[in-house]
Amino acid sequence: MKSPVVYMGLFLVALALYALEKTKGGTGCAVTQQFYQASSFSDKHMSVTALEKLQELYVQLSSEPFIKGKMDGIQLAREADAVVIRFAGDEVYMDGEVAIRDNWYSVLDRMAEIIRAEITRGVKVDMRGFADEKNRNERKSGDFGESEYAFSFSRAEWVSRYFEGKWRIPLKGIFSMRGMGAYPNGKKVELSLTY
């Protein structure tokens, strides 16, 4: 995997060759074409099509009633390479629980519909669970004595399994799940959608 520094170096070399070709009276087109052929996008550098899909998804999610209405407990964010939905706080989770409160199922159902529609476009979902650092029930669950990482993973897994069980969204190849541990105000799960 190449770092951004390598790509910047390739760009500067191509630019120098282009300038050299122009000073010799050439067109410079061959150098430019070679540069673009050599600089295929890696998974760290998104294609224009993937960026367009992300922007379309962000616009679509922005118009959803649960986002537009600014419901407490849900946030939408546009990052450089992802659209992130956060389900967070006491509105969404009871202390020490991995399952989302029942009154949030309709929002999860709408998210499942959106994800299902985006599968054909190549959507990937990184499901990240978090525990609340200040809540002892979330740092270490009394039921299983699990660590904050296992507990936070259970949160991510619960939402993923909800999508799989109710909506028949296959987890393999689409979802990844991670437990992020305990953070301040960390009672949450994040869905990071990429292409």
Domains, the chain, with CATH or none: 4-38 (no CATH), 48-194 (3.30.1330.60)
Q: What is the pLDDT of residue 27?
A: 40
Which residue has 């305990």 as its token pair?
A: 182
Q: What is the pLDDT of residue 138?
A: 80
d(CA 107, CA 116) in angstroms, rounded, equals 14
Q: What is the pLDDT of residue 140?
A: 64
Sheet holding 124-132, edge to edge: 74-79, 82-88, 188-194, 124-132, 175-183
The residue among 111, 123, 124 whose CA lies nearest residue 61 is: 111
- Angle of helix 4-23 relative to helix 29-38, nearest 10 degrees? 170
d(CA 157, CA 29) in angstroms, rounded, equals 51
Q: What is the pLDDT of residue 42?
A: 41
DSSP classification of residue 173:
T
Q: What is the pLDDT of residue 16?
A: 52
Is 186:130 a contact under the CB 8 Å cutoff? yes
pLDDT averaged per 10 residues in sequence order, the chain, 195 residues:
53 49 42 31 63 96 92 94 96 94 96 96 97 82 68 96 96 96 94 97
d(CA 75, CA 53) in angstroms, rounded, equals 20
Q: What is the pLDDT of residue 161?
A: 96
